[in-house]
């Protein structure tokens, strides 16, 4: 028994755990160098209307790692957050998106596109968040009506008053807000009405189970009705097949994002796709 206990106590030296620890240390080291090595990239996933016309894109961060290839956000976002690097990398992503909106503004086939940028709760709560954004907006001269910031319900649950104040400051500048992953958090419906929101984004876990799961269908239907009564735009993410799209359209959701239409892609591919349609 004593032996078993001893083994538990020294489980830190378990070779598998040690390997995992080393791997995460290496990943963190590489991540700190990623900016100087130009390894961050912004991918664009089309958002389409009921005619299939691309109205905009969600900008999604990618890390082009020399050995690992393209690393997924699921792996590096938590690490960016735990190391506070999210503030700098998040600002980089936003600035890149703003620069792109400026380029597009002068080209008729791209001028109407919107870009949605994800903001992590940690970035949003950072003391200089608003000032930092204002600086980016001034530097890039982005057409702000084309920019959407995607935030999550966590913010509203933890500090609703602070969230509202920050959002109001940014809304006054012309920024729009989308509530990402909607339905997975626990925000109070009373709060939703008081926030300067423009869009609800139905989380993909609900969309995925359409139309078979009746419980899910009921949830999605309520979200759509809620958005309509609050006069918010509603978009479904994670649309993977034609049945899901048809169900959503029949229930009043007219904006979609998902693999059924397109995967996230590099800038050149996204632009090429729009050009093809414009021909």
Binding site for ligand C2E (CB under 6 A): 45, 60-61, 72-74, 77, 90, 93, 118-120, 150, 180-181, 204, 237-240, 257-259, 264
Closest CA to 235 of 266, 260, 191, 198: 198
Nearer to Mg ion among residue 118 and residue 166 (C-beta): 118
**Residues that bind Mg ion in the complex, under the rule CB under 5 A:** 118, 150, 180-181
Interaction partner, residue 169 (ligand C2E, Mg ion, none; CB < 5-8 Å by kind) = none
CB atoms within 10 A of CB 62: 18
Nearer to Mg ion among residue 30 and residue 204 (C-beta): 204
Nearer to ligand C2E among residue 183 and residue 258 (C-beta): 258
Interaction partner, residue 240 (Mg ion, ligand C2E, none; CB < 5-8 Å by kind) = ligand C2E
Nearer to Mg ion among residue 28 and residue 77 (C-beta): 77
Q: What is the full DSSP assignment across the chain? A: -HHHHHHHHTGGG-HHHHHHHHHHHHHHHHHHHHTTTT-EEEEEEEEEETTS-EEEEEEEEEEEETTTEEE-HHHHHHHHHHTTTHHHHHHHHHHHHHHHHHHHHTSTTTTT-EEEEE--HHHHHSTTHHHHHHHHHHHHT--GGGEEEEEEHHHHHH-HHHHHHHHHHHHHHT-EEEEEEETSS---HHHHHHS---EEEE-HHHHHTTTT-HHHHHHHHHHHHHHHHTT-EEEEE---SHHHHHHHHHTT--EEESTTT---B-HHHHHHHHHHHH-
Nearer to ligand C2E among residue 153 and residue 237 (C-beta): 237
Interaction partner, residue 120 (Mg ion, ligand C2E, none; CB < 5-8 Å by kind) = ligand C2E
Interaction partner, residue 121 (Mg ion, ligand C2E, none; CB < 5-8 Å by kind) = none
Nearer to Mg ion among residue 74 and residue 279 (C-beta): 74
Interaction partner, residue 30 (ligand C2E, Mg ion, none; CB < 5-8 Å by kind) = none
The least distance separating Mg ion from the CB of residue 183, rounded to whole angstroms, comes to 10
The least distance separating ligand C2E from the CB of residue 1, rounded to whole angstroms, comes to 46
Closest CA to 178 of 130, 138, 119: 119
Burial class (CB in 10 A: 0-12, 13-18, 19+), 105: middle
Interaction partner, residue 238 (Mg ion, ligand C2E, none; CB < 5-8 Å by kind) = ligand C2E
The least distance separating Mg ion from the CB of residue 150, rounded to whole angstroms, comes to 4
The least distance separating ligand C2E from the CB of residue 193, rounded to whole angstroms, comes to 23
Nearer to Mg ion among residue 118 and residue 199 (C-beta): 118
Interaction partner, residue 154 (ligand C2E, Mg ion, none; CB < 5-8 Å by kind) = none
Secondary element (H or E) of residue 176: strand 176-182
């Amino acid at each position: 028994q004593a032996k078993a206990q001893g083994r538990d106590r020294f489980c830190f030296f378990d070779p598998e755990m040690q390997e995992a620890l080393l791997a995460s240390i290496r990943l963190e080291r590489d991540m700190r160098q990623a900016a100087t090595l130009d390894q961050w990239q912004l991918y664009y996933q089309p958002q389409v209307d009921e005619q299939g016309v691309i109205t905009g894109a969600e900008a999604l961060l990618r890390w082009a790692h020399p050995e690992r290839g393209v690393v997924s956000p699921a792996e590096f976002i938590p690490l960016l957050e735990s190391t506070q690097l999210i503030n700098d990398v998040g600002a980089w992503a936003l600035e890149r998106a703003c620069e792109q909106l400026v380029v597009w503004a002068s080209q008729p086939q791209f001028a109407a596109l919107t870009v949605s940028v994800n903001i992590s709760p940690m970035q949003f709560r950072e003391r200089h968040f608003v000032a930092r954004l204002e600086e980016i907006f001034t530097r890039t001269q982005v057409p702000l009506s084309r920019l959407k910031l995607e935030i999550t319900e966590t913010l509203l649950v933890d500090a609703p008053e602070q969230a509202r104040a920050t959002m109001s400051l940014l809304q006054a500048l012309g920024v729009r807000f989308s509530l990402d992953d909607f339905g997975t958090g626990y925000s109070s419906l009373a709060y939703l009405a008081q926030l300067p929101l423009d869009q609800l984004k139905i989380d993909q876990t609900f969309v995925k189970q359409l139309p078979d799961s009746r419980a899910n269908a009921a949830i999605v239907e309520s979200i759509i009705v809620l958005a309509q009564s609050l006069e918010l735009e509603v978009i479904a993410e994670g649309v993977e097949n034609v049945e899901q799209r048809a169900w959503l359209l029949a229930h009043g959701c007219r904006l979609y994002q998902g693999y059924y239409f397109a995967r996230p892609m590099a800038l050149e591919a996204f632009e090429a796709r729009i050009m093809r349609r414009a021909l």
